[in-house]
Structure 1
């Protein structure tokens, strides 16, 4: 999701959650019959669709489906995970908004229903590939994507131009460092790069994109964390190198996304990795000194030639003990449809490939839509592990240990793997 800086709080508080399983998952048969009644839907307050957007969707849906009434509840992102878990045994909510990092936990605990049988085979062609795996775990789907999101690469076009560089020169991470060195040597800014490398979920998101660029994945064939060899160590070594060479602001280890956003908007940073809304901020004259100077593109490629963005998307799932699963499915099918997502594209991006070739969609934010069209089709998921919160905490601590010079990248990754797989 776009408000991922808040995930560090969730990771810290969720460790104490009960690991008990919730039985009674909705069956495929239940999803196909009795699409009537009142459904309760739990959604997120910030980022993505606004409450007024959802109210409009509900109004239109109820007009088309008079036998179904929709009641919505909105909570802050920080409270969403815990509310889903604690309400699951009673079947309080028929449909819930779920983050991309939760399917493994929710599936193994039986908190949400398996919706695989409802996924048309055509979706593999018509839906963005990166978005499609938002709610996937072990080949099954536990929710329908409802707005893709990833980090994009932002750069100050004027600063690049001053050293004779263009967007083509920063299409690889090696190219980024080369341009950053030119900018630093020219005295344009002291630290050309800034990152969201505070000990929080934001750090895991940045590392994920670099891991993907180096051709790596978080887990092995057995689903165990395996970033202590090859790409996992190489990506972290590159991160530390950028600090050691004075190209990345050392204060990045205290920054969240808002901090990198503000640094670039104030003209202190030449390049950054951040969520889609950053482009809007960099062009807002009330908060930015570089209006009209920002460029945006898909994340640069690494030595592997790959450049996946981190998957920060959300989905809509059906509670395992939903009293009206068929009605919940009908609602989810409607609000996640191509037509409805395009109607509200100014609030959230579309999960459908065709949307990105439509003038009405492109016109809402041409630069970001162009970059996102390719970025959303290839996204790297964070570790799809039932104990994700424990894994994330281990990654945050150990990646920071390497960045701060407390451990070598190899030792840090060895310790992260040990903590995650034995925690």
Structure 2
């Protein structure tokens, strides 16, 4: 009896131990529940509804990860990140902020998290905007560039068969349009003393073969940059550029073009849809879109207005955050919302469903995206941009020559960079 009792006790003890082992194993295997916080902007690109819908789908596929998304206006986004102090895990950053945020130790490096195959399928300009000193600090997400918009009807009236491919052609076409009294000021720009002016000067300089910053050092008064600024000033002197351009932002440009008071305009993707909206425009079905003109040196150069998703340096859940970023930047998400923002993935530009969203825009974009230029990826870009806006406008208003303006800017930039 004692022997039988001992056997029973031993069996019970063994089963308890085994059960404990299984339970322990289950606890180890069960993924921990975490909450990650993501910071997005309210306007432009993907809508809040689209982001929230995708976030819900991510949570459903990953029940152990909860995501709380916060939306703020673009104007508040940079400051929100700078003072976040651990408040967010995933943050949406604008291309010019990358270097500044890295220097401030605000972003996690993700160089090893993006495969070679994915890198090859992402447009170089979009990827390089998220890099600093050859290291990657985020995933490109919201794509946008500038295009040349033109009024098809005006060009037809002037006997111009195709949009200009070079700046020289743009000027020649504009003179024809003006001489035939088709439009008083053929070209309109967003040259107000704001970031819009820095964007246009960046792309114009690049199209003339220039660089504003080379190998981390200012090169603002290089001959190609002087040539670009001289082009801007001369177009105003010749009364081909709308004289109010130095007071205009992108929305003003859209308004002038959409009212039929300009034949040419540079603007972001959104203008194509709005200029073809009867509620917003008088030039519906007359709007053409083409690559930004170039020169004999450069086929084209367009400014990168894209943004990326990064992991905050002090995130306590970087792996889960990266999983969420990958989901939001996936081909599935970007294909589904291609009508809101064009994809970062080259392969999607050959997808019939993506093409169907806007054939004319997609056709131009797949080539234009090969000529993306970034505003200088440097920690002191914000200061440079402010000084650049002032210097460029001084030349536009003929207070100084383009060369004098950029010589002065070069000296100021060297001072800023040396601090």
Size of the aligned set, in residue pairs, is 386
CA distance in 1, matches of 2:319, 2:125: 27
CA distance in 2, matches of 1:116, 1:347: 28
Verify the 8 A CA contact 2:158 2:182 in the aligned structure 1: no
2:89 is aligned to: 94
2:200 maps to 1:203: no
2:55 maps to 1:58: yes
Alpha-carbon spacing, 1:422–1:60, altered in 2? closer, same or farther (3 Å): same
Give 3-state SS (helix, strand or coil) of 1:316's partner.
strand
Verify the 8 A CA contact 1:226 1:417 in the aligned structure 2: yes
Deviations along 1:373-397, whole A, 9 cap, x unmatched? Answer: 1122321111111011100001100
2:151 maps to 1:164: no
2:247 is aligned to: 254
Query: In the TM superposition, what are the counterparts of 1:15-414 in structure 2 within 5 Å?
Result: 36-87=33-84, 90-168=85-163, 170-221=164-215, 223-414=216-407
Verify the 8 A CA contact 2:258 2:280 in the aligned structure 1: yes
CA distance in 1, matches of 2:173, 2:198: 25
TM-score by length of 2: 0.90
TM-score by length of 1: 0.89
Verify the 8 A CA contact 2:275 2:284 in the aligned structure 1: yes
CA distance in 2, matches of 1:305, 1:82: 36
CA distance in 2, matches of 1:237, 1:380: 20
Give 3-state SS (helix, strand or coil) of 1:249's partner.
coil
Verify the 8 A CA contact 2:210 2:222 in the aligned structure 1: no
CA distance in 1, matches of 2:255, 2:104: 40
Alpha-carbon spacing, 1:35–1:116, altered in 2? closer, same or farther (3 Å): farther
If you compute each CA radius of gyration, which structure gives the higher value, 1 or 2?
2
Give 1:35 deviation, angstroms: 7.8
CA distance in 1, matches of 2:224, 2:323: 43
1:28 is aligned to: none
Verify the 8 A CA contact 2:123 2:345 in the aligned structure 1: yes
CA distance in 1, matches of 2:138, 2:154: 43
Give 3-state SS (helix, strand or coil) of 2:310's partner.
strand
CA distance in 2, matches of 1:131, 1:110: 22
Alpha-carbon spacing, 1:295–1:418, altered in 2? closer, same or farther (3 Å): same
Greater shift after overlay, 265-274 or 296-305?
296-305
Deviations along 1:106-128, whole A, 9 cap, x unmatched? Answer: 11111111111112111232112
Where in structure 1 are there 5+ consecutive unaligned residues?
1-33
| Root-mean-square deviation (Å) | 1.2
Regions of 4+ moved over 6 Å: none
Verify the 8 A CA contact 2:147 2:289 in the aligned structure 1: yes
Verify the 8 A CA contact 1:35 1:326 in the aligned structure 2: no
Verify the 8 A CA contact 1:157 1:166 in the aligned structure 2: no
CA distance in 1, matches of 2:118, 2:218: 30
Alpha-carbon spacing, 1:70–1:234, altered in 2? closer, same or farther (3 Å): same
Give 3-state SS (helix, strand or coil) of 2:70's partner.
strand
CA distance in 2, matches of 1:302, 1:212: 10
Higher RCO (C-alpha under 8 Å, 6+ residues apart): 1
Give 1:344 deviation, angstroms: 1.2
